[in-house]
Structure 1
């Protein structure tokens, strides 16, 4: 370990100890955090179906930075390289459209476990687990802007079968990795203009989801979650799967609710919602993104809301009940750098939260000593946090500072530029 990093850490350890914080305990807590790294950053949400479909349903990756992964081998190579620069052992978040098609087109109502076995084999030594997502967008049966809420029973049946098969695949991943696989249902259904009948699509969505979830899977293998959205491209006026809809559906059906930090009104913060959700749900899923005006899925930065989200997660004392994943796709910058920046920022925010003297601050709050609460919280902002982060990175054998960017640039020169 670098002498300078060790010396800086020793000083930081003493500073935090003066506030009653044990940095070693914080580091050990961070080691237990396993983030679900989303596969779709590497190829702009393209997938490997080879059916010529284009993104649709509120999904849009902008930019044309060179080096996009063109096949499953390239994507795995990029993911593996990115993870080598992110401290800790993490999970993979996989969409159904990233199947190994075994040399031929496989439609979504025909996908099977065999189309994902190579992912499990590849990830067995590299990953903590694999989470899953049915893919309800970018398909010709989404042409009317509706899937599970479509008035045509044949269209609904297609997507219901897709959802059923995805649950079987998620359970397979849970068994392979001996850890529950979060299987997240997000559908883009909605209307560009204001509908006359808001209820009927939601009634059909309820019936469709109930049919998908008819079969029970052991919770130790897979957990279903449902995810809301405020609006999307082509669904600016009405989204069938609103937050209120899924709150009610998940609570009444014993499912997880997924909070995506980009799926709410610009003035809404999901850090405010976490404590309320956990009062009524056994588990929850969190998708961390960065909205700019809308759900634009920008690379996660170490901003105030990310830090507040991390604090709420740690303060909940229920981290084992919370699945944490990333969800952004930026094609305007180096895609591997995007992964690394986003994941490292999320982990930095978690470490920042672990370094909070939460019990002491809560005691001040219970005593209505709001002066001390504010003073200490402000003091924490300038504590030598980065020294603890760099020490942790060196412990985990990844670059401690910006030197990881040099490795990405070299990979870009040796690999990405030749695609």
Structure 2
């Protein structure tokens, strides 16, 4: 319900932005059409349900033991429903392959669409789209740090089969939900110490990917993405799937290039890569994270880099060719709250970008009036975008401002703490 206080504040904000030709009603219509893909693995610390006793590997680490982590698919869906109810708009869920919902004992190379049927039924009930990822970690055949580039053909074939089946599951998701599924491949392959041969593993990875993508799938149902990384725990000296490798691969094979905010050198920014890649790529996938001291996957907040990414997407009209997914995991705080904080931060950053006088700023830039450009951008930081955000939340039937936190705390008391 939109209270009189929220309505009045919105009307004042609307007038303030209208002075610069910014139509806040139109902006909110645009924001309403943006889908954020919420990552399921925040809810259970990347454990999954194929083999819960398997140690988390692949250079991935989740710290913290906050009570209430989901233990079953039903509990995870319950937590996700609560999170989605506190985030304005209709969005998507990003599943990893390990999140099967079946009583069958299966291995990674045996997954089929039917093992995710309950997820599809739930997504359709909730009006959500689904994205997917093969899980090339947390398995005995990945314990030595290699999967798709493994020198042992038998092990390499295992992971190729897993990824092939993952694409078919993505196709199934797209057909059933009516929303295109993005299936993203990330592998941890690399060496802890300096290798002799950097080329051979990349040749094997190239050949493996070509075999995985051999079957054509209608892009209306499934889009393929490949994700790079600079280094990882256990692959500090060399990563097979580097940024350079995947840029070349994605552009020559017409795949989406996935940019994870934590997968680059600490002085690199993803925001500065978007415009360059957009010139040559048919599409991009963002994994929005917050790297503190590199790839630590902290909960997303509305910091400077997130705002710059939002600006790049809005200013350059890249939202139609960019898919936005969240990727962080924090076991030290309430996991439902982490989802809500991250998703709302991403949406707020996009809203702020929409509420800037883009054409006027471009004009100033072209004229070389950098003084006015800087001054106006700084002044707009204190414009009442918060009033527009509050109105948007109220109009979408979700709590305004920090009111959502009380709901999460109550959910923690009534549901999460009873899982102990």
Same fold (TM over 0.5): yes
| Cα distance in 2 between the residues matched to 1:193 and 1:127 | 47
Partner of 2:222: 222
In the alignment, the residues of structure 2 paired with residue 150 and residue 350 of structure 1 have an alpha-carbon distance, to the nearest angstrom, of 40
Q: How many residues align?
A: 418
Alignment-derived partner of residue 248 in structure 1: 248
- Give runs of aligned pairs for residues 249-264 of structure 1, distance below 5 A: 249-264=249-264
TM-score when normalising by structure 1: 0.99
**Residue-by-residue CA offset, 1:168-190 (whole Å, 9 max, x unaligned):** 00000010112211000000001
Q: Hey, what's the Cα distance between the residues in 2 that align with 1:78 and 1:349?
A: 24
Question: What is the rounded CA distance, in whole Å, between the counterparts of 2:161 and 2:290 in structure 1?
Answer: 32
Segments of 5+ residues of structure 2 without an aligned counterpart are none
Quote the residue 1:62 is aligned against: 63
Question: Distance in 2 between the 1:78 and 1:40 partners?
Answer: 12
Unpaired segments ≥5 residues, structure 1: none
Q: CA deviation at 1:370?
A: 1.2
Residue of structure 1 equivalent to 2:308: 308
SS of 1:268 mapped into structure 2: coil
**Distance apart, 1:11 and its partner CA:** 1.1
The alpha-carbon deviation at position 20 of structure 1 amounts to 2.1
How far off is 1:51 after superposition?
Answer: 5.4
Instruction: Say if 2:48 is the partner of 1:47.
Output: yes
Shift of 1:298: 0.3
- CA displacement 1:128-168 (0-9 Å, x = unmatched): 31000000010000011100011000000000000100000
C-alpha contact (below 8 Å) 2:57/2:143 kept by paired residues: no
Q: Deviations over 1:250-295 (max 9, x none)?
A: 1111111001111101110100000011100111111100000110
Deviates more, 1:8-17 or 1:284-293: 8-17
Match for residue 91 of structure 2? 90
Q: Is the 8 A contact 2:147 2:189 kept in 1?
A: yes
Aligned pairs for 1:76-115 within 5 A: 76-100=77-101, 102-115=102-115
Equivalence for 2:276: 276
Deviations 1:52-94 (A, max 9, x none): 2111112111100000000000000000110000000000000
Deviations 1:186-216 (A, max 9, x none): 0000111111111111111001111101000
Alignment partner, residue 38 of structure 1: 39
What's the CA shift for 1:318?
2.9
Deviation string for 1:85-113 (max 9, x for gaps)?
0000000000000011x213210000011
CA contact (8 A) 1:92 1:127 kept: no
Q: Which moved more, 1:66-75 or 1:16-25?
A: 16-25
Q: Which residue of 2 aligns with 1:160?
A: 160
Give the Cα separation in 2 of the matches to 1:4 and 1:118. 42
Structure 1 stretch displaced more, 271-280 or 50-59: 50-59
Question: In 2, Cα distance between the equivalents of 1:44 and 1:144?
Answer: 22
**What is residue 209 of structure 2 aligned with on the other side?**
209
Contact 1:231 1:239 (8 Å CA) reproduced: yes
Do the aligned partners of 1:286 and 1:322 also contact (CA within 8 Å) in 2? yes
**Residues 5 and 390 of structure 1 are in contact (CA less than 8 Å); yes or no, is this contact kept in structure 2?**
yes
Measure the CA separation in 2 of the matches of 1:364 and 1:273: 23
Q: Which residue of 2 aligns with 1:118?
A: 118
Given that residues 229 and 242 in structure 1 are in contact (C-alpha distance below 8 angstroms), is that contact kept between their aligned partners in structure 2? Answer: yes
Report the equivalent of 1:173: 173
Tell me if 1:133 matches 2:133.
yes
Q: CA deviation at 1:19?
A: 2.1
- Cα distance between partner residues in 2 of 1:52 and 1:413: 27
CA offsets 1:293-344 (integer angstroms, 9 cap, x no match):
1100000011000011001011121312111000000000000000000000
* Range 272-281 or range 318-327, more displaced: 318-327
Matched, 1:197 2:200: no
| Aligned residues of 1:57 and 1:235 also touching (Cα < 8 A) | no
2:352, 2:79 → 1: CA distance? 28
**Matched residue SS, 2:378:** helix
Aligned position for 1:21: 22
Equivalent-residue separation in structure 2 for 1:365 and 1:51 (angstroms): 55
CA–CA distance in 1 between the matches of 2:332 and 2:143? Answer: 28
